[in-house]
Amino acid sequence: MKIIFFLISFYTTFIFAKLPNDVRWVRESKEYVALCNQVYANAIDKLQDTISPNNYSLNIINNNYAVVMDLDETVLDNSDYQVELYNKNEKYNPDSWDDWVVKEDAKLVPGAYDYISFLRNHNIQIIFISNRMHKRLQETKNNMLELGIYSDNDIYLLRLDRADKKTIRRAEIFNSTGRMKGFKQFEIIQYLGDAIGDFEVDNLDRFGLDQFVFPNPMYGKW
């Protein structure tokens, strides 16, 4: 029995010890947790600055304020998918990613629950823009429901095809066209994401004011 226990412990230690540093940092480091909590806390502080003078204004009462959020590695932690890839000696591919989304097993990025709860409590509309495929909308909602952050009032703009860039979907928000036709004209007061492409203005001066970026060393373009 002791030998079996030793072998299991050794195997588990070996598997996790050999994970790439970027994945280990997200999964194990206190710094990652602290940074995510810090980003969300700063975003809440800025929201309070925006809405506190106008708590009873028509913007709040009529739900005219909105926040645009990315999903993966902003709200949903998919580091388990990265572990699966590594253990299979594979790299990202659309098929394995689709299989992962179907599992509905993503976790919450630290701080996401409190931030989203703040938005709900202050009648601020949430618009999720994600490169998850639209055909996986229900699986995504199921995952959000399991994590306790789903609301029927949220708007999801997922990707229809490879040509459906985030810039196109943001334009639909601004112009109330396409998928946003029939919705009111929202005043976007914050953007949150883990990549420059998640933001309307590629201007570093806006970060920390109304744009908030999360650490994600696991994948991206740089």
* pLDDT band, very low/low/confident/very high, at 14 (cuts 50, 70, 90): very low
Look at residue 128 and tell me whether its pLDDT is greater than 60. Answer: yes
Mean pLDDT of 75-95: 96
Mean pLDDT of 162-172: 97
Domains of the chain, start order: 33-213 (3.40.50.1000)
Q: Which region among 9-18, 22-31, 161-170, 202-211 has the lowest average model confidence (pLDDT)? A: 9-18
Look at residue 137 and tell me whether its pLDDT is greater than 70. Answer: yes
Tens digit of pLDDT for each residue in 26-46? 999 999 999 999 999 999 999
Instruction: State the SS3 of the chain.
Output: CHHHHHHHHHHHHHHHHCCCHHHHHHHHCHHHHHHHHHHHHHHHHHHHHHHHHHCCCHHHHCCCEEEEECCECCCEECHHHHHHHHHCCCCCCHHHHHHHHHHCCCEECCCHHHHHHHHHHCCCEEEEEEEEEHHHHHHHHHHHHHCCCCCCCCEEEEECCCCCCHHHHHHHHHHCCHHHCCCCCCEEEEEEECCHHHCCCCCHHHECCCEEECCCCCCCCC
Q: Which pLDDT score is estimated for 52?
A: 75
Look at residue 6 and tell me whether its pLDDT is greater than 50. Answer: no
Tens digit of pLDDT for each residue in 54-69? 555 555 656 799 999 9
pTM greater than the 0.85 cutoff: yes
